[in-house]
Structure formats: C-alpha cells, structure tokens
C-alpha cells in the first residue's frame, strides 16, 4: 500500500478508481444475471480479476456493493435529465422543450441495464426494502421534485395552470413513462422500439398540456 516511490504514489489514485470501476462492472453483470441472493462476493471478485480482499476494501459487504451499483446506475440515467429539467424554468417554448425532455427521460429510463436493475430491485423489495429505497429516491423521487420546482415557476409565469406542483410533476412523469415502463417490467422486454418511446413521450406531453397548459 505505502511506497517509497513517488511514481507509485502518483498512480495510486487512478489504480484504486480503476479497480473500483472494475468491481462495479463485474457486480452489475453478476447481480443482473444471478439476482441479489444468488450473487456472491467471490464471483464478483473473480470476474473483476481482483482479490476478494480488494472487493471488501472498496465495499464493506454485499449490501453496500449493491447499493453503490444502484447509485451509479440510477445517477448515470437521471443526472442528465435532472439538469435538463432545471433548464426548463426559463424556457420560451415550453411545449417543444417538454417534448424534448420527455423523449430524453424515457430513453434514459428504458435502457436495458436500468430496466434490469429496476426489475431486480422490485423483485427483492419485499425481503430487502432498503435496496429499492435508493433507486426510488435517486430516480423517480428526485426527478419529480425537480419537475415540481420548475412547474411551480412556470405556473407563476402563467405558462402552466396548477394548484399542486408535486402532483402535476407526478402526472407528467407517469403520463410519459408509465405505459412503456409497466410493459417492460412485466413482459421482460429490454429493448422496446425507439419509435414507440417517442410516441409515448409525445402523447404524454400532449395530455399533460391539455390538463395543465394555458387554455
């Protein structure tokens, strides 16, 4: 671990984060293939080509490693959407911008790896509710909170008509996502046609604006 050579010190951090990335990549593969209960730290270590000790140095236990996998996967899907939501506040063309947002949001949420992780978390939620909480809080809850903030501001500008920004945000979110997401969850479909997703997104925005837009 410690070294007299400055060169080794220089590369220590990148090597650590490279190993961490390798472990998370292996964890994703093994968890999504074998489920939570069917996954062992041994198998993850083998696939990541590191020692089991190294896995435990980075992640205290299986639960912590899984939680970190959820954080990484959900953040990668929701961070760009979150930023785009906040940009809406000063939009001069709300309908077009909501449509762009809805299409992008749906494409992110419907990525195969995100769908598979969502199924896994749901399948284990009765026995391990803490596994799903991170997914819920970093995914839908965070996006809906950002949408609520922006919708409140758009209502103040007179662009939307609403009493309850959080409720309007829930309705926007699910008008766009519920149909394809529910299909994918139950039918195990990981790659719905992109054209279908665009159609669902646009139809969701249309219904949302019919309900909450300026007359």
Neighbour-count burial of 37, counting CB atoms closer than 10 A to its CB (0-12 exposed, 13-18 middle, 19+ buried): exposed
The reply on whether position 95 binds its own copies by CB under 8 A is no
- DSSP string covering 125-160: TTT-HHHHHHHHIIIIIHHHHHHHHHHHHHHHTTSB
- In the list 171, 197, 201, 205, the residue contacting its own copies (rule: CB under 8 A) is 171
Question: Collapsing DSSP states into helix, strand and coil, what is residue 7?
Answer: helix
Please give the residues from 114 up to 143 whose contact with its own copies meets the rule CB under 8 A.
116, 118-129, 132-133, 135-136, 139-140
| Phi, psi values for residue 213, rounded to 5° | -80, 175
Query: CB 41 → its own copies: shortest distance, Å?
Result: 21
Please select the residue that binds its own copies; options are 1, 4, 186, 195, rule is CB under 8 A.
186
The stretch among 4-12, 48-56, 94-102, 181-189 that binds its own copies (CB under 8 A) is 181-189
Closest CB 109 distance from its own copies, rounded Å: 11
Q: Does 19 bind its own copies (CB under 8 A)?
A: no
91/110 Cα distance (integer angstroms): 26
**Contact with its own copies (CB under 8 A) among 102, 175, 197, 205:** 175
Read off φ and ψ for residue 160, nearest 5 degrees: -120, 160
18 or 33: CB nearest its own copies: 33
Tell me how far CA of residue 180 lies from CA of 42, 78, 147, 187, in angstroms: 36, 17, 20, 10
The answer to whether the beta carbons of residues 208 and 175 sit under 8 Å apart is yes
Give the binding-site size for its own copies (rule: CB under 8 A): 46
Residues near its own copies, by CB under 8 A? 32, 35, 116, 118-129, 132-133, 135-136, 139-140, 164, 167, 170-171, 173-175, 177-179, 182-183, 185-190, 203-204, 207-208, 210-212
């Amino acid at each position: 671990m410690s070294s007299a050579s400055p060169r080794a010190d220089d590369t220590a951090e990148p090597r650590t984060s490279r190993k961490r990335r390798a472990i998370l990549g292996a964890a994703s593969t093994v968890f999504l293939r074998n489920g939570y209960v069917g996954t062992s730290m041994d198998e993850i270590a083998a696939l990541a080509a590191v020692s089991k000790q190294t896995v435990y140095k980075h992640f205290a236990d299986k639960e912590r490693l899984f939680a970190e996998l959820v954080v990484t996967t959900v953040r990668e899907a929701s961070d760009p959407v979150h930023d785009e939501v906040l940009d809406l506040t000063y939009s001069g063309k709300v309908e077009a911008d909501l449509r762009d947002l809805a299409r992008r949001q749906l494409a992110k949420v419907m990525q195969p790896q995100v769908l598979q992780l969502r199924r896994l978390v749901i399948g284990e939620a009765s026995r391990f509710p803490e596994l799903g909480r991170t997914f819920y809080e970093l995914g839908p809850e965070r996006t809906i909170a950002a949408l609520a903030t922006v919708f409140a501001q758009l209502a103040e500008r007179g662009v939307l008509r609403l009493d309850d920004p959080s409720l309007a945000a829930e309705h926007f979110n699910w008008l766009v996502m519920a149909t394809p997401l529910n299909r994918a969850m139950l039918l195990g479909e990981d790659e719905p046609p992109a054209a279908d997703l665009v159609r669902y997104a646009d139809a969701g925005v249309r219904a949302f604006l019919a309900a909450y837009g300026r007359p």
